[in-house]
Chain A
Amino acid sequence: NAGVTQTPKFRILKIGQSMTLQCAQDMNHNYMYWYRQDPGMGLKLIYYSVGAGITDKGEVPNGYNVSRSTTEDFPLRLELAAPSQTSVYFCASRPSTGEADTQYFGPGTRLTVL
């Protein structure tokens, strides 16, 4: 299994541009999450999904959108990028049974908005 994969690894955007951060998992996990991590700070939840077609806001959703059309994929959309969105973005997933509370993280996408 590849686990949780994220693309791209790095991206530089200009203010006002849009982009989609990709996240995929091959573990058949129902739950998927998007976090951002700023320097010296903990991870903050942006959006999460409990299954295909179901998404919900986390702690810091403003400026972002998500969709979940399949179990495997959970893309994060940035519209009108702002310097405040410069951060490292992590996607995570977890199962709904078994070790249901353990989240598995991808390698991250480092985004800079100039």
Chain B
Amino acid sequence: EDQVTQSPEALRLQEGESSSLNCSYTVSGLRGLFWYRQDPGKGPEFLFTLYSAGEEKEKERLKATLTKKESFLHITAPKPEDSATYLCAVQADNNNDMRFGAGTRLTVKP
């Protein structure tokens, strides 16, 4: 069965303090790994899709990387507006749906 585990559950950073969020996964055949951002009371907002090991994508202070077993979301010099829950999800080959992790709740203090 496809599984996604995110760590840590919660992370508190000072503004400017870089860190990484982890997403470990097991899937029969990976079609894609997705990162979403979710603000309180809102729906998930798409950030990145990664398809193969070694792939990297960047957007502002965020950089996502992928290996055969895990993905990292690196946050460089975060700002308070980066505070949110970050969700990871995987989609298996020949599958129309995604399996989500429980998320990492990030708080960035000024």
Contacts and interface: CB of A to CB of B under 8 A. Distances in A.
A101 B97 contact: no
Chain A interface: which size bin? Answer: 20 to 34
A58 B98 CA distance: 10
B56 to A, nearest CB: 17
A42 B100 contact: yes
Main secondary structure of the interface of B (DSSP, over half): strand
Contacts, number: 53
Nearest to A91: B43
Q: Which of B9, B41, B96 has most A Cβ within 10 Å?
A: B96
Interface string B80-98: 0000000101010000111
Interface of B: 4, 9, 31-32, 34, 36, 41-46, 49, 87, 89, 91, 96-103
29 contacts: A33-B97, A42-B4, A42-B99, A42-B100, A43-B44, A43-B87, A43-B89, A45-B97, A45-B98, A48-B96, A50-B96, A58-B97, A90-B43, A90-B44, A99-B49, A101-B31, A101-B32, A101-B34, A101-B49, A102-B34, A102-B46, A102-B49, A104-B46, A105-B44, A105-B45, A106-B43, A107-B42, A108-B41, A108-B43
